[in-house]
Amino acid sequence: MTHTLMDLPFDENALEPYISKETLQYHHGKHHAGYINKLNILIEGTVYAEMKLEEIVTKADGGIFNNAAQVFNHNFYFNGMSKKATSPSKELLALFERDFGSIESFKEKFLDMAAGLFGSGWVWLSIKDSGTLSIESFSNAGNPLLLGHTPLLTCDVWEHAYYIDYRNARADYLEKWWELVNWDFVSENLEASTQ
């Protein structure tokens, strides 16, 4: 099975002025594509060659894990943004209120964790088997699949996600990223997790 680079679900300039076309050209066209190309090279002739991406993430280690997880993470990140205004489903809003007190409280906790993550990595909203929402941070290529949790939303806090537009002002990037969250995608992930 050859893994291919996803098409962005929006035009390269669609997220401006929050995320520039130049950033997307590097982030998607160079970094994301690089992980895809390296993954395909690394899995050739191995037990991972016929596995789906999620299966590779949960079973591999070393370079194969790093590249597979980065592909999965980036797919999730890009699908989780939209320039079109969206709103969380009533089911998702109810879970935010139950588990965090409100969506505003969730936002504060999520963005604080993302701003405070040391080095490079990812911050996720996931749902546990118990049905509880969780904010989880992972260094490097980590993600909730490693804990058996279902991912709903992620924010990339590697510098290549924001340095062109925000330099080292990660908190500014996070506030603008929040404006782009594709709540339709997050709500669909929640619905799929309960089926």
Order of all β-strands in the sheet with 133-139: 133-139, 121-127, 150-156
φ, ψ (nearest 5 deg) of residue 194: -100, 5
Domains of the chain, earliest start first: 21-79 (1.10.287.990), 90-193 (3.55.40.20)
What stretches in the chain show pLDDT beneath 50?
none
Residue 91: predicted pLDDT: 97
Residue 134: predicted pLDDT: 98
Residue 194: predicted pLDDT: 86
E strands in 38-193: 121-127, 133-139, 150-156
Residue 162: predicted pLDDT: 98
Residue 33: predicted pLDDT: 98
Residue 81: predicted pLDDT: 98
This prediction has a pTM of 0.97
Distance of alpha carbon 76 from its chain centroid, rounded? 4
